A and B are shown apart, each in its own frame.
Chain A
């Protein structure tokens, strides 16, 4: 209330000749209840504007709220695809945001922020996966198999298109089963294959872009994608000839 009183005093002293100001001031005092000053809505601002507000000192929390709300679901989904676990995905997504906040003053407002978040989350997940591999008793074997030449049981000309079910034609129970099977199939991939598959098909990165980021040749990345797809098809093959829902009923 003291802030409101001070504001009223200022208004009164600034222009005592204005009945408008006086009336408002008196009204405010008379109500004796704090007025919630509506915060300007920043939800429709661009990413660049919000990032700029997050960079400043003191940080604009409304801008951060808006930025988090805008990017949360997509970031969570990426983390879910990487970790294959809801709780771990939540933790990973929050860690990515923490990393952003710790370096907020150096954020670039012109950068594709969604992609930036995704890269941070992927790097955190990759580090954790790498550390887990090294700590595990089979670390050396796993690493060797990651760098092994890409033979691919389907050969070099393995088609990308496969006969797999249309999720929209399945019942909810079947969709749940399919989602579980997809998670299992992703879980059986090596971390690198999983990461590359997600980057290629969910982040829409080209093999050349992934190769540049990974410091590998484009052919090597194409080989990883091919092998990952072949593995996925293999793990999902029992879905190929499932009868459509109508027949099940």
Chain B
């Protein structure tokens, strides 16, 4: 016989059914492999992105020897990794603070860079490092502005503590959506 069931109980029933249908749990080893940073899993892609950013940096170096009047700080070359393609862009650092071993930063993506993601994984790279300097998740503040806060390695803290937003930044960005990061 049927009985009265409310939506809540049906939801619980559906959830229990989903639990019963769950695939086998991944092993620790599989998860550890999946959780490796993307540049370790895709070293060739990482190298290609860095190379592309290096080319972008040269263009900026010729185009902007000083911050453009009214445009604020130096542009930081950025590569947006989208599902279908990568898009070359740039960001301007609006606020930067290195204190107590943490980097706090606010930046604005160029207006042409339509980014739908409320969060971005930002990989900081430089020319002379084969590995990224840093990775952080940036959250959208408003419009094209994002902010992030991340713990800094000691060696970076000492170098970046003197940085000002008006300086040319010693890094470039590779940005991708957390959902595509695996």
Contact = CB atoms under 8 A, between A and B. Distances in A.
A95 B179 CA distance: 8
B128 interface: no
Nearest to B26: A94
B1 interface: yes
B69 interface: no
A175 B28 CA distance: 34
Contacts of A77: 15-16, 18-19, 22
Interface in B124-142: none
B134 to A, nearest CB: 13
Interface in B1-44: 1-8, 10-23, 25-29, 31-32, 34-35
Contact of A98 (B17, B20, B27, B182): B182
B72 interface: no
A164 interface: yes
Contacts of B22: 72-73, 76-77, 80
A131 interface: yes
B178 A124 contact: yes
Classify the secondary structure of A's interface with B: helix
B7 A127 contact: no
Interface in A151-168: 160-167
B118 interface: yes
B31 A164 contact: no
B106 interface: no
A246 B8 CA distance: 25
Contact of A65 (B5, B20, B28, B116): B28
Contacts of A76: 18-19, 22-23
B25 A232 contact: no
Contacts of A62: 28
A197 B15 CA distance: 12
A170 B10 CA distance: 13
A68 interface: yes
A131 B177 contact: yes
A34 B16 CA distance: 43
Given A68-B25, A94-B26, A201 B12 contact: yes
Interface size class of B (residues with CB under 8 A): 35 or more
B117 A161 contact: no
B6 A95 contact: no
Contacts of A10: none
A220 interface: no
A177 B103 CA distance: 53
A90 interface: yes
A182 interface: yes
Interface in A68-116: 68-69, 72-74, 76-78, 80-81, 86, 89-90, 94-95, 97-98, 101-102
Given A166-B2, A246-B1, A135 B116 contact: yes
Nearest to A62: B28
B119 interface: yes
Nearest to A163: B4
A179 B5 CA distance: 14
Contacts of B8: 160, 201
B147 to A, nearest CB: 15
B3 A166 contact: yes
29 contacts: A65-B28, A72-B25, A72-B26, A73-B20, A77-B15, A77-B18, A77-B19, A94-B26, A95-B179, A101-B35, A127-B178, A130-B118, A131-B117, A131-B179, A134-B116, A135-B116, A160-B8, A163-B4, A166-B3, A166-B4, A169-B3, A182-B14, A201-B8, A202-B15, A232-B7, A233-B7, A244-B1, A245-B2, A246-B1
Interface of A: 59, 61-62, 64-65, 68-69, 72-74, 76-78, 80-81, 86, 89-90, 94-95, 97-98, 101-102, 124, 127-128, 130-132, 134-135, 160-167, 169-170, 175, 178-179, 182-183, 197-198, 201-202, 229, 232-233, 236, 242, 244-246
Interface of B: 1-8, 10-23, 25-29, 31-32, 34-35, 116-119, 177-179, 182
